[in-house]
Structure 1
Amino acid sequence: MKKYLAELIGTFSLVFLGCGAAVVSGISSTGPAGIGLAGISFAFGLAVVVMAYAIGPISGCHINPAITISMLVAGKIKTDDAVGYIIAQFVGATLASSVLYLIQSGSPTFVMGEWALGANGWGQGYLGNYNTTSAFLTETIMTFLFLLVIFHTTSKWGNSTMAGLAIGLTLVLIHLVAIPITGTSVNPARSFGPAIFASGKALQQLWLFLVAPTVGGILAALTWKGVFESAVRVNK
């Protein structure tokens, strides 16, 4: 239960801080201190960094169902733990979105739009207006690359003391590219929480952010196990 609670808190922190940065002081901020695309990217990345060092020793700091499923495919986590992790992650993301909604409701300018609370999406009316193919490819490829970094940095051949920083910076880079396309998910739980409250198009499009990151994570697990793990072992 300690591991599951750690995953719940970690995912809560990621969604609350990352989406909070986007909603409260991000690109559409009407205040003088809008942090823009780079600021939002660093908010998500730094949230992962701090959580990696805070709860990493307890649960491994997955805070992302795509990571948990990928680790399951790679044989690095048991099925019952994976199920517990995923449930905790979705609960944490939903709680974070509910708190963010309550906070935003206190603003006289708040309007619950189609993709409110930092919800992911694509198509006409969403940021760069990219189509479904672009969105699916982006989420799949970005998750694939993200997991490859995670697999190596957390392996016995990686630098464990720097793993959290490397993973967090990778997420920053991913956001810098993907925000205009999908708002950047690479994490089904991160997409689930805001979509539940935003409803509308965000909820209709949720399927892509459940499927594409999962596909990317599975492909990364198969690639790591089938290609790179043995290569790294030989080189070491």
Structure 2
Amino acid sequence: MNIKALLAEFIGTFMLTGAVLGAAFYSFGAPSGAAGIVGVALSIGITVFATARAIGHISGGHYNPAVTLGLVAGGRFSVASAIPYIVAQCLGAIAVTAVFSAIGNAPASYAANGYGDLSMIKAGLWSVFLIEVVLTAFFLIVIMGSTRPGAPAGFAPLSIGLALTAIHLMSIPVSNTSVNPARSLGPALFAGGEYLSQIWVFWAAPIAGAVIGAVIYRFMDE
């Protein structure tokens, strides 16, 4: 077990989830004007770009259980290392949610994901499941293509960060954007209630999407 890699995954997921929570908790009510959905999307995209550049070389910069499992399906990561990575990622997301809980002024939802009445546009289960599958598949295609052997050096963090920004712009109104089971788990644990009862969707859909995206990319690149 590579402790340094697990610590990098903890920190990366901590910062990724924190980018969502901080922007979602505070930017909508800022006295100078709400940053809104664009602000949240940029916050996470920039953070993923920065952490991938800073510590991505230590662990591979997954910061997401769906990405880890997608890379396993794509032949880029070992099955044996997947579970420790996922545990580190979940702990990072839970830890940063606890930090923002201590800071205070967190909404009751803790920016958790949801469908039905928990969706901004009241999107149903099928709509939320479908968008999470499709966008996570897209995300894995971007990740695998950007990190392929022979890809332009140094550009992967930029393309991955921009893809995640676009994903959030597209899906925050629908599902509050997961594409990352760890990011969903931390807030759901603190929000509790119906948010926690719906957490299975935000594990099942991103993981299914990641595997689909990885298989598609692997087929195209063979």
Q: Matched residue of 1:63: which SS?
A: coil
- CA deviation after TM superposition for structure 1 residue 224, in Å: 1.5
Tell me the distance in 2 between the aligned counterparts of 1:6 and 1:80.
18
Does the Cα contact within 8 Å between 2:66 and 2:181 map onto a contact in 1? yes
Matched, 1:67 2:67: yes
| Structure showing greater Rg | 1
- CA deviation after TM superposition for structure 1 residue 14, in Å: 0.6
Tell me the distance in 2 between the aligned counterparts of 1:146 and 1:71.
11
The aligned residue for residue 6 of structure 2 is 4
1:179-217 CA deviation, whole Å, 9 max, x = no partner? 000000000000000000000111011010000000000
- CA deviation after TM superposition for structure 1 residue 125, in Å: 4.7
Tell me the distance in 2 between the aligned counterparts of 1:125 and 1:161.
39
The aligned residue for residue 55 of structure 2 is 55
What TM-score do the two structures reach when normalised by structure 1? 0.90
Q: Matched residue of 2:120: which SS?
A: coil
- CA deviation after TM superposition for structure 1 residue 160, in Å: 2.9
Matched pairs, number:
220
Q: Structure 1 counterpart of 2:18, which letter? A: F
Same amino acid, percent of matched pairs = 39
Matched, 1:190 2:192: no
- CA deviation after TM superposition for structure 1 residue 53, in Å: 0.3
Does the Cα contact within 8 Å between 2:17 and 2:96 map onto a contact in 1? yes
Tell me the distance in 2 between the aligned counterparts of 1:125 and 1:212.
17
Q: Matched residue of 1:124: which SS?
A: helix
- CA deviation after TM superposition for structure 1 residue 124, in Å: 1.9
Q: Matched residue of 1:206: which SS?
A: coil
1:146-204 CA deviation, whole Å, 9 max, x = no partner? 10000000001322311100000000111111000000000000000000000011101
- CA deviation after TM superposition for structure 1 residue 30, in Å: 5.8
Q: 1:147 to 1:31 in 2, by over 3 A?
A: same
- CA deviation after TM superposition for structure 1 residue 129, in Å: 0.6
Does the Cα contact within 8 Å between 1:153 and 1:160 map onto a contact in 2? no
- CA deviation after TM superposition for structure 1 residue 32, in Å: 2.9
RMSD: 1.2
The aligned residue for residue 221 of structure 2 is 229
Alignment of 1:98-177 (within 5 A): 98-104=98-104, 107=105, 113=108, 116-177=109-170
What TM-score do the two structures reach when normalised by structure 2? 0.95
Does the Cα contact within 8 Å between 1:122 and 1:129 map onto a contact in 2? yes
Q: Matched residue of 2:110: which SS?
A: helix
Does the Cα contact within 8 Å between 2:97 and 2:187 map onto a contact in 1? yes
Does the Cα contact within 8 Å between 1:20 and 1:117 map onto a contact in 2? no
